């Protein structure tokens, strides 16, 4: 017996629960779910009409599916077979109703139905579009995406709040988590590794909010960062040197400024013979080495038990004979354990920190040490920071959407109560181009870093001319 003949039972809720609009749904909302059908230059009423006709068909296909399909078996079938069967249902309906669709409309109808049935509905085309890096859903009727560092409104929407919520539930339940009034926000991951955060009512006031940082299928390498103008080639040589010389590195930057990308790219300089332990809240790093032990935190269970946080994992990592510890993002008390690790022989460790300047980054670390609950005087905390961390790299997203390495600074010790730090390279903004693009150039400050000696010991000899302010390093 084909699965199409079995009446649905358990999995039915998935589709009937608000996934599709009722056939009598009003004209205002649903039409937009058929985004992409309206062709440029098509009068608006005709476009609306076409959208409505397709929407009606989509609803009828769904209803037939509900009658004919055992949805519980869907997961086990090849997509191609499901596609053929759904196409068959569409053909039947079109014949029964003497409806005609052109090739494009029919393809669109088929893929919309399949996206709803097997995937994440309106999110599917956005997930497949490789030019999109972030998807931000602000309630069911408003979806934004980021492309080339700029936000733009996406021509799509969810049917209603229930539809959006159902998709959110689908995402989080796939990783064994849940979201409801009692726990209204959650981190999750899509099957392809994309990072997801969802927050629903009552915390989200105007409808559920869903933020997806898409997983780069091909991670951005250092060579690509140079190509993109995010750093000059000479800087790539220096970054290689500081990784090879096992300096402890912090990558600092604002939200979405490219910290994780930079960390991932720099990790490629680590010798494949080393044992690397990575610790993340939501695994994003894609290290190329063979010998990588990946750890991920765990939130507490429904009963509030079983949480494993980054602190626990950093402590555990120390017992795993790591050559390097890479902490995806240092957010809280684990800063203390990370400094301990850096200060006790696990040099060459790296992490990222959310801060807007290298100096802010140091204050953040100090605050985070305080969050560990360990009673430590501010001066000793600073002394620990000053001896543990060697280099702070500041990355940033400029107003034109480009991401750049804005500064490279080294820590040089303490003077009284203050950590001393010197900037070696920076991106100097000089103005704006006619299209609003940020103009500027990378330059050396003229200070020869102390780490040059450590690099020399590690066999990395840098041309002293690199550190002269008049050396051209590349412009943007
Ligand atoms: N130099 C770059 N040029 C172009 N795109 C970049 C660059 N760096 C990062 N990106 C893209 O920007 C997005 C954000 O990057 P990334 O995740 O590294 O930022 P982040 O600072 O770690 O963000 P968060 O604060 O959310 O952790 C990603 O989609 C990434 O592919
Ligand atoms: Mg990040």
Probe residue for ligand 1, chosen from 215, 256, 257 as the CB with the greatest number of ligand atoms within 8 Å: 256
What local confidence, expressed as pLDDT, does residue 64 receive? Answer: 77
What local confidence, expressed as pLDDT, does residue 199 receive? Answer: 97
Write the CA distances from 441 to 228, 407, 430, 470, 472, integer angstroms.
14, 12, 8, 11, 8
Any atom of ligand 1 within 6 Å of the Cβ of 328: no
Q: What is the CATH number of the domain that holds 202?
A: 3.30.450.370
Q: What is the CATH number of the domain that holds 289?
A: 3.40.50.300
Ligand 1 centroid, distance to 220 Cα (angstroms)? 9
- Are residues 2 and 141 located together in one domain of the fold? no
Pick the last residue of a domain from 161, 180, 215.
Answer: 215
Say if 321 falls within a structural domain. yes
- Are residues 307 and 326 located together in one domain of the fold? yes
Any atom of ligand 1 within 6 Å of the Cβ of 268: no
**DSSP per-residue codes, 441-455:** EEEE-SPPPTHHHHH
Phi, psi of 54 (to 5 degrees): -65, -40
pLDDT in tens, 9-62: 323 233 333 333 333 333 333 333 333 333 445 556 666 676 677 777 777 877
- Are residues 104 and 209 located together in one domain of the fold? no
What local confidence, expressed as pLDDT, does residue 48 receive? Answer: 65
Tokens of 58: 């989509």
Can you list the alpha helix ranges (DSSP code H) found in 321-409?
Answer: 334-343, 358-370, 378-388
DSSP-derived secondary structure letter, 220: P
| CA gap 206, 376 in Å, rounded | 43
The pLDDT profile of the chain, 476 residues, written as one tens digit per residue, is 343 333 333 232 333 333 333 333 333 333 333 333 334 455 566 666 766 777 777 778 777 777 776 666 766 778 888 888 888 888 888 888 777 778 888 888 888 888 888 889 899 999 999 999 999 999 999 999 999 889 999 999 998 899 899 999 999 988 888 899 888 999 999 988 899 999 999 999 999 999 999 998 889 999 999 999 999 999 999 999 999 999 999 999 999 999 999 999 999 999 999 999 999 998 899 998 999 999 999 888 777 788 999 999 999 999 999 999 999 999 999 999 999 999 988 899 999 999 999 999 999 999 999 999 889 999 999 999 999 999 999 999 999 999 999 999 999 999 999 999 999 999 999 999 998 899 999 999 999 999 999 999 888 888 888 999 888 787 66
Say if 300 falls within a structural domain. yes
- Are residues 368 and 421 located together in one domain of the fold? yes
Tokens of 471: 């050396």
Phi, psi of 176 (to 5 degrees): 70, 20
**pTM for this structure?**
0.81
Say if 14 falls within a structural domain. yes
Any atom of ligand 1 within 6 Å of the Cβ of 310: no
| CA gap 425, 334 in Å, rounded | 29
Closest among 261, 263, 256, 34 to 146, alpha carbons compared: 256
- Are residues 64 and 187 located together in one domain of the fold? no
Pick the last residue of a domain from 118, 142, 167.
Answer: 118
> Structurally, how many domains does the chain consist of?
3
- Are residues 253 and 357 located together in one domain of the fold? yes
- Are residues 170 and 51 located together in one domain of the fold? no
C-beta separation of 72 from 9 below 8 A: yes
Can you list the alpha helix ranges (DSSP code H) found in 97-207?
Answer: 103-118, 123-128, 161-173
Say if 8 falls within a structural domain. yes
- Are residues 240 and 189 located together in one domain of the fold? no
Say if 472 falls within a structural domain. no
Pick the last residue of a domain from 183, 200, 215.
Answer: 215
Any atom of ligand 1 within 6 Å of the Cβ of 396: no
Tokens of 246: 């096992």
Any atom of ligand 1 within 6 Å of the Cβ of 397: no
Say if 236 falls within a structural domain. yes
Range of the domain at 52: 1-118
Say if 87 falls within a structural domain. yes
C-beta separation of 446 from 423 below 8 A: no
What local confidence, expressed as pLDDT, does residue 475 receive? Answer: 66
Residues in the chain: 476
Any atom of ligand 1 within 6 Å of the Cβ of 133: yes
- Are residues 328 and 431 located together in one domain of the fold? yes
Any atom of ligand 1 within 6 Å of the Cβ of 403: yes
- Are residues 128 and 245 located together in one domain of the fold? no
Say if 476 falls within a structural domain. no
Which ligand is the nearest neighbour of the Cα of 354? 1
Which ligand is the nearest neighbour of the Cα of 395? 1
Probe residue for ligand 1, chosen from 195, 239, 260, 284 as the CB with the greatest number of ligand atoms within 8 Å: 260
| CA gap 272, 474 in Å, rounded | 31
What local confidence, expressed as pLDDT, does residue 15 receive? Answer: 37
| CA gap 273, 270 in Å, rounded | 8
C-beta separation of 240 from 460 below 8 A: yes
| CA gap 319, 340 in Å, rounded | 13
Of ligand 1's atoms, which has the minimum distance to the CA of residue 133? 29
Judged by DSSP in three states, 56 sits in: helix
- Are residues 111 and 124 located together in one domain of the fold? no
Any atom of ligand 1 within 6 Å of the Cβ of 349: no
Name, in order, each residue with C-beta under 8 angstroms of 27's C-beta and a sequence gap of 6 or more: 48, 52
- Are residues 241 and 204 located together in one domain of the fold? no
Ligand 2 centroid, distance to 208 Cα (angstroms)? 23
H or E segment at 444? strand 438-444
| Dihedral sign for Cα atoms in the order 155, 159, 160, 161 | negative
Probe residue for ligand 1, chosen from 218, 236, 253, 403 as the CB with the greatest number of ligand atoms within 8 Å: 403
């Amino acid at each position: 017996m084909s699965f199409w003949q079995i009446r649905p039972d358990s999995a039915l809720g998935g589709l009937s629960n608000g996934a599709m609009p009722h056939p009598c749904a009003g004209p205002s909302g649903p039409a937009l779910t058929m985004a992409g059908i309206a062709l440029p230059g098509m009068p608006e009423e005709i476009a609306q009409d076409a959208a409505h006709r397709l929407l009606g068909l989509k609803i009828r296909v769904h209803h037939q599916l509900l009658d004919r399909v055992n949805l519980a078996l869907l997961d086990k079938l090849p997509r191609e077979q499901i596609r053929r069967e759904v196409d068959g249902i569409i053909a039947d309906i079109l014949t029964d109703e003497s409806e005609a669709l052109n090739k494009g409309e029919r393809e669109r109808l088929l893929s919309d139905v399949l996206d709803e049935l097997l995937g994440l509905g309106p999110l599917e085309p956005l997930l497949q579009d490789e030019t999109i890096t972030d998807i931000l859903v602000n309630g069911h009727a408003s979806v934004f995406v980021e492309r080339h560092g700029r936000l733009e409104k996406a021509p799509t929407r969810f049917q209603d709040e229930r539809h959006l919520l159902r998709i959110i539930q689908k995402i989080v339940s796939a990783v064994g988590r849940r979201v409801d009034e009692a726990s209204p926000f959650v981190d999750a991951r899509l099957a392809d590794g994309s990072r997801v955060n969802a927050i629903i009512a009552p915390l989200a006031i105007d409808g559920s909010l869903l933020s997806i940082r898409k997983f780069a299928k091909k991670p951005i390498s250092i060579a690509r960062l140079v190509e993109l103008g995010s750093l000059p080639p000479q800087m790539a040589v220096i970054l290689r040197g500081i990784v090879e010389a096992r300096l402890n590195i912090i990558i600092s930057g604002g939200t979405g400024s490219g910290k994780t990308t930079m960390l991932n790219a720099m990790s490629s300089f680590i010798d494949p013979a080393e044992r690397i332990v990575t610790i993340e809240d939501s695994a994003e790093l894609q290290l190329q080495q063979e010998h990588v032990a990946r750890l991920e935190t765990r939130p507490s269970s429904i009963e509030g038990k079983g949480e494993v946080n980054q602190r626990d994992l950093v402590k555990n990592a120390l017992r795993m004979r790591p050559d390097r510890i890479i902490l995806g993002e240092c957010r809280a008390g684990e800063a203390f354990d990370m400094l301990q690790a850096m200060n006790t022989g696990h040099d060459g460790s790296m992490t990222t920190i959310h801060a807007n300047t290298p100096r802010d980054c140091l204050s953040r670390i100090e605050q985070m040490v305080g969050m560990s609950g360990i009673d430590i005087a501010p001066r000793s905390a600073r002394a620990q920071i000053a001896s543990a961390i060697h280099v702070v790299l500041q990355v940033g997203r400029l107003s034109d959407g480009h991401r750049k390495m804005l500064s490279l600074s080294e820590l040089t010790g303490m003077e009284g109560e203050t950590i001393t730090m010197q900037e070696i390279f920076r991106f100097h903004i000089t103005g704006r181009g006619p299209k609003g693009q940020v103009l500027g150039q990378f330059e050396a400050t003229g200070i020869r870093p102390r780490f040059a000696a450590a690099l020399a010991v590690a066999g990395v000899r840098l041309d002293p001319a690199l550190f002269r302010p008049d050396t051209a390093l590349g412009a943007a």
